[in-house]
Structures are given as C-alpha cells and as structure tokens.
Homo-oligomer: A and B are copies of this chain.
Amino acid sequence: MSVIMRVSKEKLAENRAALIDAASRLFREKGIDGVGVAEIARAAGLTHGALYAHFPSKDALVAAALEAGFGRSVAFMRRTVADRDPSFAGYVDFLLSSKMRDAVGNGCPMTASCSEVGRQGEEVSARFTEGLEGMAAAVEEAIGEGASTDERRKLGLATIAAYVGAIAIARGVETADPNLSEEVIEATRHLLKRVGSN
C-alpha cells in the first residue's frame, strides 16, 4: 500500500483539529471512559500512533477536547441568545429545552461529562473550570442591573448548576420515562424564570 508520511504544516494542523473534533464529539456521545484512543484516531482518519505525535496522553487529549468543546459551545450560546432574546430569560429558554437535552454529540461538554471530570486529571479539571466561568459570565451579563454584583454572580453560577443537573437527569430518565424527562426540564426552567424576575 502507498503510505503517506511527513505531512505538510497545513495538513498537520488539519489533522490536529480533526483529532480534537472527533475526541470532543465521541467523549460527549460515549463518555470519556467509553471511547478509546484508537476509535478517536480512526474517526479523524489517522492511526492511534499518530495521536501521540499531537498529545502526550489521553488525558491531554481530553483536556484539549474539553477546551475546544467549551469554546464552541459558549460562542454558540452567546450568538443564539443575542439573536433571539438577550435577557436572563433568553438564557433560561436556551439552556432548559428538550433541544438541549437531545444535542448530545455536539452539545455542551458540561452536561455530557459533569460526573466524569471529577475523576480525571488536573489539566481536565482546569479546562472544566474555565468552561464553567465562561458560561456563568455569559449568563451574568444578561442579568438586569437591579441586582448587586454578588447577586448576579450567584445567580449566574446557580443557573448553570441547575441547567447541568436538569439536562443530565433528563437524559438519564428519558429511556424509562420520557414525560418525566420533559417535566424536569420544564420545572427547572420555571424555577429559574421565577427567580430571574425577582
């Protein structure tokens, strides 16, 4: 077979991006412990050996995938909410929806991996922390000026927490009880709107 070695700088960057994209998607779909490096490399059109030319370990790839996933996710959220209803209620509607629950592979890394990151390395925890701050900051900015800085910060963080729990639970119960899945999302959206309007 004709094997192509030593690739152009352009192709190198492309391959790296493909690895991160594939990892990001597969980790969200199957869990961090649920995908192997070989499957990720294959999905990126490479062999597993090549992965180690880009990342020193699977943990480093997890961190890179998390960072990329959050970057895309936060940007998409800001853009969508800005176009639709750039208020706190707009964020609540965006975050607490069945569309959000169904977006697993290209959804938010936080809802997909929340109960797994606590068991990963330091680098992963650091990227997860940045992701949380990024999401909370976006929500905070949309909270009315009536609230104090402290109140806004608290509401921003608590909104993300409620969102993550609701979507993760909604995914967990969906197979057994689709109605309950909707109910959890609706109940959490209701609670947040009640608080948002003081």
A residues near B, CB below 8 A? 30-31, 33-34, 104, 110-119, 122, 125-126, 128-129, 132-133, 153-166, 168-169, 171-177, 180, 183-184, 186-188, 190-191, 194-195
Check A132 against B180 for contact (C-beta < 8 Å): yes
Q: With A180-B129, A195-B195 as given contacts, are A172 and B30 in contact (CB-CB < 8 Å)?
A: no
A31→B65 CA distance, assembly (Å): 20
Note all chain B residues with C-beta closer than 8 A to A160.
Answer: 165, 169
Interface centre among A111, A161, A168, A173 (most CB of B within 10 A): A161
CB distance from A43 to the nearest CB of B (A): 17
A128→B184 CA distance, assembly (Å): 13
Check A177 against B129 for contact (C-beta < 8 Å): yes
Contact partner of A187 among B114, B118, B155, CB < 8 A?
B155
Can you report 10 A-B residue pairs in the complex whose CB atoms are below 8 A from each other?
A31-B116, A114-B114, A114-B172, A115-B116, A115-B171, A118-B171, A118-B172, A132-B173, A154-B191, A155-B191
Query: Other than the known A132-B180, A155-B191, what 8 A-B pairs have Cβ atoms closer than 8 Å?
Result: A33-B33, A114-B114, A118-B168, A125-B175, A159-B191, A162-B162, A164-B168, A164-B169
Contact partner of A33 among B34, B184, B190, CB < 8 A?
B34
Check A116 against B116 for contact (C-beta < 8 Å): yes
Check B187 against A157 for contact (C-beta < 8 Å): yes
Q: With A115-B112, A118-B174 as given contacts, are A190 and B129 in contact (CB-CB < 8 Å)?
A: no
Check A195 against B187 for contact (C-beta < 8 Å): no
CB distance from A177 to the nearest CB of B (A): 5
Contact partner of A161 among B34, B122, B169, B176, CB < 8 A?
B169
